[in-house]
Amino acid sequence: MTVTKKQYFIAFLLFFVVGITRAQNEMDKGLEAITESAVKGQLEFLASDWTEGRAVGTKGAYLAADYIASMFKVYGIEPCGDAERKIPTRTQRMAGMESSENTTYFQNFSLLEYSPGEVQNLSVITQSPGRESAADFNFRSDFNVNPGTVGRSGKAALVFAGYGFADDKEGYNDLKQVDVNGKIAVVLAGFPGHKDPSSEAHKKFAPVGRYAQYYLERNKAERLAKAGAVAVILVNTDNDPTLSWAQNAIYPVKGDFFEADEPFPTYYDTRMTLPGDTLASDVPVFAISSRVAGEIFSGTGINIEAFEATVAEKMKAASKALPGKVASYKTTVDSKIVKARNVLGMIEGEKTDEYIVVGGHYDHVGKWNGWIWNGADDNASGSVGVMTIAKAFKATGKKPEKTVIFAVWTGEEKGLWGSRYFVREAMRKDMNITLNLNYDMIARDSDNDTQKNKASMVYTRANAGIEEITRKHIEQYNINLDLNYRPSDRPSGGSDHAPFAQQGIPIFYFMAAMHPDYHLPSDELDKINWEKMVNIIKIGFLNTWSFANSDEHLLTEESKR
């Protein structure tokens, strides 16, 4: 039998149409699994009082993690956490039972929780030929300190390192002209031109992002520690830090109507970190009063106002040593180890060596002084998003090409520690992670969102196909979302996409809105925009399903060549 060209064409067309229809049906099945009632059912428990705010390491967090693991099991998602070895009892062994090893849904790790101890000392010493005098300052009267994870003591020369700021792209670096190795670095808060938004310096150097100021100052301390500084003294010329050290203030506890005479303990009284095997970047950072700053700069010829104006105008570093100025210090630290765990599920793909990670953190601020920070939006909403996408993937009835890991992190509120730990271990194992989707606060409206459909999507700029396919899916499936697309060369900030982006892994990250209830007990279920939350989950599923089954929209311009 002879096959004509026309028959070839008809057969090809039929194959193409059937393939498109099958793919469409798979995505439709997944979308049908994303319902408002399913989303509500999960969120109502995760953000309930029973989980007690889900603070990392607490009973409420363990309860929430057990619930998430149970939902993964209900949806048919395989565990991909730590292996657990079960050793039978003597009676069980006599009955013939042997030891077994099973994979769990939990990735366990330890965190070091720490806070300043009772003893904190700082003295500024002025030396001249044949003479030395010291001014001994008081803790939380003239200085406060972030001591790091261990107590420290020492005495070293002071060096003025400008803002402790560096921008290699613009050719500015406060550390090029001075040697801080083995010395105490004195730095100003902010950056060149930070006091004048209209200045060229401000336009060049101003950090952009939700946590920009926080990371600006934190990065300074890390940069100075890597350069060998044994301690950092931070001078803030914008605000008076002593206002937050006062002991006679009235402390609001709940709104405007319930107050207390003494400060209550809060979630922010302690910090956490992954216990490392080095103290290389662990230096104390002192915030000081204006009179400590006056003692440091007295007799050095440095006028801070003139310095800031000159640097803003010339945009050139002007750091210098402080001859005859020395400081001694002693810090103490209280610490303990806290157990924590991520929840990890997986759908194995045709490719078992290529991974997409869909993630969001389940921890929040916890329970304090009788109030529960339920964190309905932050980030029970994102956790439900991860679980619901997992449900949708299973509902397609098809095995994806790439393996997809569904990760619900802990420790985000204390420093992204759950996602940091996962990424660190993944890099050690040489896991080929090709993409990360992050959900954080996907269920609220900002004050200017009159249509109640606005949200933002941050993504890796080099992977322009992420925005392209998002726009396509929103139009094709008539999803009521008005997205603000925010490409970034290497997305950073205070959410769990950052550790992936730092390793060069492409990310896309959804957030609905920043709102007045952020990190307050009032972040409750009655303020959730259910339609918006469901729509953000739908677009996340559609995108991730496409990325899991094709490389087309993840290609960079460079890889296309």
> What CA–CA distance (Å, rounded) separates 508 from 473?
15
Min mean pLDDT across 300-314, 331-345, 531-545 is at 300-314
Read off φ and ψ for residue 3, nearest 5 degrees: -95, 125
Arithmetic mean of pLDDT over the chain: 91
Q: What is the mean pLDDT of residues 152-159?
A: 96
pLDDT in tens, 239-250: 899 988 887 766
**pLDDT value for 178:** 93
**Structure confidence at residue 204 (pLDDT):** 85
> Has residue 517 got a pLDDT over 90?
yes
Listed by start position, the domains of the chain span 32-84+339-560, 112-335
Question: Are the CB atoms for 89 and 403 separated by under 8 Å?
Answer: no
If you average pLDDT over residues 232-255, what whole number do you get?
81
The fraction of the chain above a pLDDT of 70, given in percent, is 92
Q: What is the fold of 112-335?
A: Glucose Oxidase; domain 1 (3.50.30)
Rounded percentage of the chain residues whose pLDDT exceeds 90: 73
Tens digit of each residue's pLDDT (9 = 90 or more) over 52-102: 999 999 999 999 999 999 999 999 999 999 999 887 787 877 887 877 789
Work out the average pLDDT over 298-313. 91
Evaluate if residue 7 carries a pLDDT over 80: no
Q: Is the dihedral of CA 302, 304, 305, 309 positive or negative?
A: positive
- Please report where in the chains the tokens 């993964």 appear, as a residue: 72
254 pLDDT band, cuts 50/70/90, is low
Q: What is the pTM of this model?
A: 0.87
Phi/psi of residue 67, each to 5°?
Answer: -65, -45
Q: What pLDDT does residue 18 have? A: 43
What architecture (CATH level 2) is domain 32-84+339-560?
3-Layer(aba) Sandwich (3.40)
Name the pLDDT band for 168 (thresholds 50, 70, 90): confident
Average pLDDT over residues 472-491: 96
Q: Count CB atoms within 10 A of the CB of residue 128.
A: 10
d(CA 469, CA 462): 14
The values of phi and psi at residue 136, to 5°, are -95, 115
Whether the Cβ atoms of residue 27 and residue 549 lie closer than 8 Å to each other: no
Angle at 59 between CA 53 and CA 62, to 5 degrees: 90
Q: Return the higher-pLDDT residue of 243 and 505.
A: 505
- Please tell me the predicted confidence (pLDDT) of residue 8: 53
